[in-house]
A = this chain, B = another copy of it.
Amino acid sequence: MLAAQGDAVDAINPIQALSEAERIDRLRLIRSDNVGPRTFRALLDRFGTARAALERLPDLARRGGAARTGRICSADEAKAELAASRKLGVSWLAPGEDGYPPRLGTIDDAPPLLAVRGAITTAMRPMIAIVGSRNASGAGLKFAGQLARELGEAGFVVISGLARGIDQSAHRASVASGTVAVLAGGHDCIYPPEHEDLLAAILDQQGVAISEMPLGHEPRARDFPRRNRLISGASLGVVVVEAAHRSGSLITARMAAEQGREVFAVPGSPLDPRTAGTNALIKQGATMVTEAEDVLAALRPIIGPAVAALRQGASGFAMEDDEDGPPDVASADARARIVALLGPVPVPVDD
């Protein structure tokens, strides 16, 4: 696959902001029939620009043996979508552009254009996903909130799916520190509808909502697994708080593993079916999480020593094994900036 390499290069060497013409062309290309993220990337690699790829599409379809040429999105349609998006405060961004979560740009099937609404700076910070059951236990909801609060205080952005249950708890507890909601539908089709207030609170406080779907797209069942790859792809690791067997959160965990992200799971009683999935993940090698420090300890080798330094100042952690040292006077805000400066994207040895 050329796609993976191309994505990685984009993410490491941020592209200039796209010209309006190129953004329109790219939106046309990804909106055209038979073009998904992987095909888009292959076409761009082969033909250099979206415009050149659009011109070759009919010919390619014929040579590929397609019974009929797929529909190609017109420039007018693309312009109309961009205009409608702007009215909602939604920008369509390419991997490498400011506001496109940097890690998300590194996955094989990264959205060629991502609809981003909210604070650009938050979208650029290191993220940890917290996901889990819609019908979670009281303990699960409480733990998700506690974990989200502590990871937020440690400088991480909490990313989740805006669903009922664990997602909701994780978002609510990290509204103040910055949280990202990943939508399965378009930005004007919030699901579940009763979470529009939660999303408004998220956006009010420097949070972000992202989607790869067009405006007006009502999420269908199959859109949720597809959406889940964005949650894991944008994050350093995914914490599954409660999950029954065969639940959607396990799909997110599987995608995280495939994408090379850390997988974390919170244990529970063997007699509680709501934690059968998380216990199974731990048996399969996921890192067991009973406190935020378990997540931070696993991420230190990835994101660097600054996370270790941050920890002393973060409230709510067990301090038992802290070494002696000068008191940490950094504010949560300064900590967040330090983590943001570190950047979540691996840097080539040559740099």
Q: Which residues of A contact B (CB under 8 A)?
A: 137, 139-140, 142-143, 266-272, 275-276, 279, 282-283, 288-291, 294
Contact residue among B142, B143, B279, B294 (Cβ-Cβ distance under 8 Å from A267): B279
Subset of 25 A-B contacts with CB under 8 Å? A139-B269, A139-B272, A140-B269, A142-B271, A143-B270, A266-B269, A267-B267, A267-B268, A267-B269, A267-B270, A267-B275, A267-B279, A267-B282, A267-B288, A268-B268, A268-B269, A269-B269, A269-B275, A270-B289, A270-B290, A270-B291, A276-B290, A279-B290, A283-B288, A283-B290
Distance in angstroms between the alpha carbons of A276 and B139 in the assembled complex = 14
Distance in angstroms between the alpha carbons of A290 and B266 in the assembled complex = 14
Q: Max chain B CB contacts within 10 Å: which of A139, A267, A279, A288?
A: A267
Evaluate contact between B288 and A143: CB separation under 8 angstroms: no
Q: How far is the CB of A97 from chain B (nearest CB, A)?
A: 39
Distance in angstroms between the alpha carbons of A269 and B289 in the assembled complex = 10
Distance in angstroms between the alpha carbons of A275 and B275 in the assembled complex = 14
Q: How far is the CB of A59 from chain B (nearest CB, A)?
A: 50
Q: Specify the chain B residue showing the minimal Cβ separation from A242.
A: B269
Q: Specify the chain B residue showing the minimal Cβ separation from A268.
A: B269
Distance in angstroms between the alpha carbons of A139 and B269 in the assembled complex = 8
Distance in angstroms between the alpha carbons of A282 and B268 in the assembled complex = 12
Q: How far is the CB of A286 from chain B (nearest CB, A)?
A: 11
Q: Max chain B CB contacts within 10 Å: which of A268, A270, A288?
A: A270
**Which residues of B sit under 8 angstroms from A268, Cβ to Cβ?**
267-269
Distance in angstroms between the alpha carbons of A178 and B158 in the assembled complex = 52
**Which residues of B sit under 8 angstroms from A137, Cβ to Cβ?**
269
**Which residues of B sit under 8 angstroms from A283, Cβ to Cβ?**
288, 290, 294
**Which residues of B sit under 8 angstroms from A290, Cβ to Cβ?**
270, 276, 279, 283
Evaluate contact between A279 and B288: CB separation under 8 angstroms: yes
